Structure 1
Amino acid sequence: MRVAVTGATGKLGRSVTRGLRGAGHLVLELDQHGERGPEFLRIDLRDYGQVVDALMGVDDRSDGFDAVVHLAAIPAPGIHADVATFSNNMMSTYNVFQACRRAGIKRVVYASSETVQGLPFDVDPPYIPVDEEYAARPESTYSLVKHLEEQLAIELTRWDPELSITALRFSNVMDPEDYAAFPSFDADATLRKWNLWGYIDGRDGAQAVLRALESAGPGFDRFLIAAADTVMSRSSADLAAEVFPGVEMVREVGQHETLLSIDKARRVLGFDPQHSWRDHL
């Protein structure tokens, strides 16, 4: 496929572009930052004219795309003022989705976020492991935008039954060089309780994108995307019992099994995370 990737020079974006190219797809990187070259286009996604023009085709680069992977965003709460986060992320996503519709691009995969599950879980989750079945619980402006983006995708795919939009609720993205810090988390179970001790290796994040591009059908769907294990050496059941003693464990979990359920992603997309921090230490 010919795939445009927004936010291609970001932490997850770098892994995704490598993974897509490794699978044989042609990729054009769209971002505000990056090195000039035949596979990169500098673009401001807040400007709808630039977005729709780029997706319709770029002289000497592309005559259009089969799919778009939208990863660009202010990546977390607390980096910019709330209104700046809302304005940048919401407008960029609307522009990308709308430009895809105008350009006739029917396959979109984009970065939603684990934060819509209720992070940082100052209010207990309804049950553990958490999954996509309970209503979104945004607790920050960043998370609110991610929730609204999903609602936007629901309506756009209702308007166009041939359109496929897949929201991947990525956990905290990590690269191998980040893993040296993981043993320090064991000192205090509350240090990483904010996302139920979850993470996702960037290479497995790329795998999830590839699986969604290849297998997602028309309409909208959402998937939690996390590593198969937690960031902790302690057992997952013990962590949940200590930090969330009043929360029901709805099923038994493995010794270090993620508490961000990836069962749906495994079942529907064929997602199968291959990388763990435990293999690097």
Structure 2
Amino acid sequence: MSSPTPSPAPQRVAVTGGSGKLGRAVVRHLAESGWEVVLLDRVPSPDPVDGVTYVQVDLADYGQVLQALTHVDDRYDSIDAVVHLGAIPAPGLVPNATLFTNNVTASYNVFAAARAAHIRNVVWASSETLLGIPFDLDPPYLPVDEEYAVRPESSYSLGKAVDEEMARHFTRWDRQLKMIGLRFSNVMDDGDYSEFPWDDTPEKKTFNLFSYIDARDGAQAVRRALESDLVGYETFIIAATDTVMATPTAVLAEQFYPTVERRAAVEGTDSLLSSDKARDLLGFVPEYSWRTWGDRVGKQEAPADDQDDAVDAR
């Protein structure tokens, strides 16, 4: 009698910046999807996930990053894939040169250490800011996509542009390497949605064309990028299918961008950031919207009410 075929060992993925807002959603989603997750960050997660290994790492130190992507005593002896999210997350938090130096150095260290460790599956957080955000100058057309050249307008987005150019050359050096940059829109979760919609002050959301992405959908995009069979360098816009507004998108576009070319029709509250490429090549379809936040909150509260009813019945 033949022995049963053993189940394949789970892939081990290192997630830098896994203690951040998007990182926590990514770590949880990957762990729940069968990945063995190693969280690399300066601080542990405030929302720990069972079975996830935490290692304290300073991404500005190449030696630490290389060790973390190869072998850590009593923890693991190899890494199969890397998700790089660790960075100062926005402009204005520190002086410009400090932000640029920190973020670009961290990305180089992760990319180079992954190459040295023969890791050929790398996904990292690029940014919607490369599209020209804040849109003080009009975009070349609407909806925007990945087809026009990047337009960094801050030290933060300039660093992201450097990250993308580095990735392009890392994949040129190794033709078997996959490096996918996800240009995430403004990351939101249920804790943010009580402030939506923004129709009373739409000018506050013109900076990114009224767009956003739920952290859980961002996590889905990361998993799909990791599990895709693409090879080489790719970038994808990752945004919700809707806006942060109740006002129809066509009305907003006419009000704020009346002279910008329309390359596709928008209906209802469709986003002006196109994720069509991610849908077509990664199978990414957002599942969460602020518009159903109230319904989700109600469902989360319902089991407690049902439990009380059951107790009363007994």
Settle same-fold status: TM greater than 0.5. yes
Unmatched 5+ residue regions in structure 2? 1-10, 295-314
Unmatched 5+ residue regions in structure 1? none
Q: Is the 8 A contact 1:131 1:261 kept in 2?
A: yes
Q: Distance in 1 between matches of 2:41 and 2:276?
A: 32
Quick one: which of 262, 273, 292 aligns to 1:279?
Answer: 292
Residue 153 of structure 1: aligned partner: 167
Q: Is the 8 A contact 1:166 1:216 kept in 2?
A: no
1:225-264 equivalence runs, <5 A:
225-264=238-277
Q: Distance in 2 between matches of 1:159 and 1:45?
A: 23
Q: Distance in 2 between matches of 1:117 and 1:279?
A: 28
TM-score scaled by structure 1? 0.98
Q: Is the 8 A contact 2:31 2:52 kept in 1?
A: no
AA paired with 2:25?
S
Q: 1:126 to 1:271 in 2, by over 3 A?
A: same
Residue 133 of structure 2: aligned partner: 119
Deviation by residue 1:91-122 (Cα, 9 ceiling, x = unmatched): 00000000000000000000000000000100
Q: Distance in 2 between matches of 1:165 and 1:204?
A: 20
Identity, % of aligned positions: 55
1:1-281 equivalence runs, <5 A:
1-34=11-44, 39-183=53-197, 185-281=198-294
RCO comparison, higher one (Cα < 8 Å, 6+): 1
Deviation by residue 1:172-219 (Cα, 9 ceiling, x = unmatched): 000111000012x10122110100000000000000000000014211
The ranges of structure 1 where at least 4 consecutive aligned residues each deviate by more than 2 angstroms after the TM superposition are 35-38
Q: Is the 8 A contact 2:131 2:150 kept in 1?
A: yes
Residue 309 of structure 2: aligned partner: none
Q: 1:87 to 1:238 in 2, by over 3 A?
A: same
TM-score scaled by structure 2? 0.88
RMSD: 1.2
Asked which structure has the greater CA Rg, the reply is 2
Q: Counterpart of 2:195 in 1: which secondary structure?
A: helix
Shift of 1:257: 0.7
How many positions carry a matched residue from both structures? 280
Q: Is the 8 A contact 2:81 2:119 kept in 1?
A: yes
